[in-house]
Amino acid sequence: MTSAIPTLSQGFYWQDIAVGQKFRTFRRTITETDIVNFISATGMLETIFIDTTFSHGAIQGRPVPGALTYSLIEGFIMQGMVQGTGLALLEVHKKMLAPVVAGDTVWAEIEITGIRPTSKHNRAVVVSLIDVRNQHDQPVMTYTATRMLAGRPDNPEPGSSRSEH
């Protein structure tokens, strides 16, 4: 019976997380190819990203669009925290703290800061604080994300353990 086989990377149902709980993503080095592909796909053809002779002032190295850093971290969150359970991204508030350049390695720590079950049972609004850091453990971005997460199909009480399906 295939339903008894655990699904890899299954996200958390809202009942399986708690306010104050923390998670860490994997790390990802951002390459020149990542920058070129991202700016080409999005149309972010701003001089700072396409002209390597452009003077960046205080930034040493090839700048990475903040939207690319954010997208990579959200990809990690999608793959490990909300895959199959995320229903909607409702709100995001971002603040860039330091530049990211080609060759930097980024990762994030996620803290659950709020869980509010909705009036429509079996879902909740979950708020997370995401702190993004580079390979030197320097903060480069912080943001809050408000998401709608599904509840367990069998709808157990909050705080019950995560099942293997």
Domains, in order of start, for the chain:
17-150 (3.10.129.10)
| Residue 40: C-alpha distances to residues 2, 89, 131 (Å) | 41, 25, 27
Q: State how far the Cα of 145 lies from the Cα of 130, in Å rounded to an integer.
A: 8
Distance, first Cα to last Cα, the chain: 12
* Residue from 11, 104, 22, 98 nearest 61 by CA: 104
73-103 pLDDT, tens digit per residue, is 999 999 989 999 999 999 999 999 999 999 9
User: Hunting for tokens 């991204």 — which residue is that?
Assistant: 89
Q: State how far the Cα of 47 lies from the Cα of 4, in Å rounded to an integer.
A: 53
pLDDT at residue 149 in the model: 97
| Residue 87: C-alpha distances to residues 102, 132, 141 (Å) | 33, 23, 25
pLDDT at residue 64 in the model: 95
Q: Decide: 87 and 123 in contact? Cβ < 8 Å.
A: yes
Q: State how far the Cα of 15 lies from the Cα of 34, in Å rounded to an integer.
A: 36
pLDDT at residue 2 in the model: 60
For residue 40, give every residue at least 6 positions away whose Cβ sits within 8 Å of its Cβ, in sequence order, or none: none
* Residue from 116, 119, 111 nearest 145 by CA: 111
pLDDT beneath 70: ranges in the chain = 1-3, 56, 155-165
